[in-house]
A and B are shown apart, each in its own frame.
Chain A
């Protein structure tokens, strides 16, 4: 990672992020957070800021496939890594089945937690295509929602679970 120093002695770093399949090179400071690069530099404002301490999950993105709070990741630490944000789900007009399920099950209200919630759910289903309700609840327990009581969110995620082979149980 290249670093340059300006006249005041502030160091800046040249980083490359692979976001939603595309490569972006940006100059950041040491204290620049991944969430700020996504929102301010790349204009990917689907990733939200809710608490900035890792408590609410609104800023959840997948870093190399794993859900993390992008408010607790330094941009320099994400250099060279793959990041998936809500904008990277689905293809063009076609929504991801999870996105469809959130709409179909009325699993969102204000929508502010929705991006992070869907990213957590996506990571779960990627690694565990047929989760139990308990597993769903554990996967989204780091995503706070103030509107829905999680009732329809859990329902939506479960509706995307693959049926085990040989039909439903």
Chain B
């Protein structure tokens, strides 16, 4: 295989990266881990004229707890860094578990969480769990910085609200009251497989009472989506199995999957039902986020 020619510029700051992206226009792409952009270039799906490397921006590689903001994950953290972060393991184990099931070990060592989000692939694993946990992303450019709720970030397959000159610099999981969360990736192989269906759930439980719940679905619509009808059904109710099954059905009804070689729309929809119910049960029972 052959990686077509391109110009390479290593940015030394976010400001420089933003300036370059603004001046070079849509034919410039960001290079972070490269695990998505390089295979696409080799397969001639995309042909950027310039890759602006941000891999040396060490400021985007930290995971920290910030007073008043929550847990802040630098966009250049690799999947394995997310998985191994002791802070995340303590605060949001479900995010670490999500990272653990992604791609394979070699990819997890270079693929970044920022890349997994900005690529806006419908089957991406991080978005559902981060949406369920109410995460925001910070988009920075030379005209300023803005915070976008991750749920509002995606606009279609490989499309998002990010502007050409913007760089996703961090993911913020705000302080929230969730006491249970989980993500389940349903793939056709135990490693190196894309999600056929991805279901994330976050709950606030008081005994059997569901005070709050968020359900986010991946790979079953042009973007990750919330299953709001299912959430509404559960909110404020005493939880039982029948109710969870009903929530699964509502989530399935909310999904808009396509049929492709990995699975038919019909199958995917039913898997949304099954895994929504199972994820709810797991998030409720396991007693941690």
Q: In residues 1-60 of chain A, which contact B (Cβ within 8 Å)?
A: 1, 10-11, 13, 29-31, 33, 52-55, 57, 60
Tell me, yes or no, whether B55 is within 8 Å of chain A by CB. Answer: yes
Query: Min CB distance, A9 to chain B, in Å?
Result: 10
Taking a contact as CB atoms under 8 Å apart, the answer to whether A72 and B38 are in contact is yes
On whether A138 and B191 interact (CB within 8 A), knowing A31-B6, A72-B38, A74-B8, the answer reads yes
CB-contact partner of B105 in A72, A73, A77, A138, under 8 A: A138
Task: In the complex, identify which listed stretch (A62-70, A84-92, A93-101, A160-168) lies at the interface while the others stay far away.
Answer: A62-70
Query: Min CB distance, B275 to chain A, in Å?
Result: 22
Taking a contact as CB atoms under 8 Å apart, the answer to whether B105 and A120 are in contact is yes
- The chain B residue sitting closest to A119, CB to CB, is B106
Tell me, yes or no, whether B7 is within 8 Å of chain A by CB. Answer: yes
Interface digits, B85-128 against A, CB 8 Å rule (1 contact, 0 not)?
Answer: 00000000000000000011111011000000000000000000
On whether A68 and B109 interact (CB within 8 A), knowing A55-B192, A138-B191, A141-B104, the answer reads yes
Tell me, yes or no, whether B179 is within 8 Å of chain A by CB. Answer: no
Contacting residues, chain B, for A67 (C-beta < 8 A): 105-106, 109
Contacting residues, chain B, for A140 (C-beta < 8 A): 105
- The answer for the CA separation of A69 and B104 in the assembled complex, in Å, is 10
Taking a contact as CB atoms under 8 Å apart, the answer to whether A68 and B110 are in contact is yes
Instruction: Give the dominant DSSP class at A's interface.
Output: mixed
CB-contact partner of A11 in B8, B105, B107, under 8 A: B8
Interface digits, B4-28 against A, CB 8 Å rule (1 contact, 0 not)?
Answer: 1111101000000000000000000
**Interface residue range, chain B:** 20 to 34
- The chain A residue sitting closest to B33, CB to CB, is A72
Instruction: Give the dominant DSSP class at B's interface.
Output: loop
On whether A141 and B8 interact (CB within 8 A), knowing A30-B51, A74-B34, the answer reads no
Taking a contact as CB atoms under 8 Å apart, the answer to whether B8 and A68 are in contact is no
Contacting residues, chain B, for A10 (C-beta < 8 A): 5
Interface digits, B186-212 against A, CB 8 Å rule (1 contact, 0 not)?
Answer: 000011100000000000000000000
Query: Min CB distance, B109 to chain A, in Å?
Result: 4
- The chain B residue sitting closest to A142, CB to CB, is B104
Tell me, yes or no, whether A76 is within 8 Å of chain B by CB. Answer: yes
Could you count the A-B residue pairs with CB atoms below 8 Å apart for me: how many are there? Answer: 83
- The chain A residue sitting closest to B108, CB to CB, is A142
- The answer for the CA separation of A51 and B60 in the assembled complex, in Å, is 31
- The answer for the CA separation of A77 and B37 in the assembled complex, in Å, is 14
Taking a contact as CB atoms under 8 Å apart, the answer to whether A52 and B1 are in contact is yes
Query: Min CB distance, A103 to chain B, in Å?
Result: 24
Tell me, yes or no, whether B233 is within 8 Å of chain A by CB. Answer: no
Choose among B53, B104, B110 the residue with the greatest number of A CB atoms under 10 Å from its CB.
Answer: B104
Taking a contact as CB atoms under 8 Å apart, the answer to whether B109 and A53 are in contact is no
Taking a contact as CB atoms under 8 Å apart, the answer to whether A54 and B107 are in contact is yes
Query: Min CB distance, A78 to chain B, in Å?
Result: 11
Contacting residues, chain B, for A1 (C-beta < 8 A): 10
Query: Min CB distance, B181 to chain A, in Å?
Result: 22
- The answer for the CA separation of A74 and B91 in the assembled complex, in Å, is 35
Taking a contact as CB atoms under 8 Å apart, the answer to whether A142 and B191 are in contact is yes
Tell me, yes or no, whether B39 is within 8 Å of chain A by CB. Answer: yes
Contacting residues, chain A, for B106 (C-beta < 8 A): 54, 57, 60, 67-69, 120, 142
Choose among A1, A52, A120 the residue with the greatest number of B CB atoms under 10 Å from its CB.
Answer: A52
Taking a contact as CB atoms under 8 Å apart, the answer to whether A142 and B3 are in contact is no
Residues of B bordering A, CB below 8 Å: 1-8, 10, 31, 34-35, 38-39, 42-43, 51, 53, 55, 80, 103-107, 109-110, 190-192
21 CB contacts below 8 A, A to B, read A30-B7, A30-B8, A33-B3, A55-B192, A60-B106, A63-B110, A74-B8, A74-B34, A74-B53, A76-B8, A77-B55, A120-B105, A138-B105, A141-B105, A141-B190, A141-B191, A142-B103, A142-B104, A142-B105, A142-B106, A142-B191
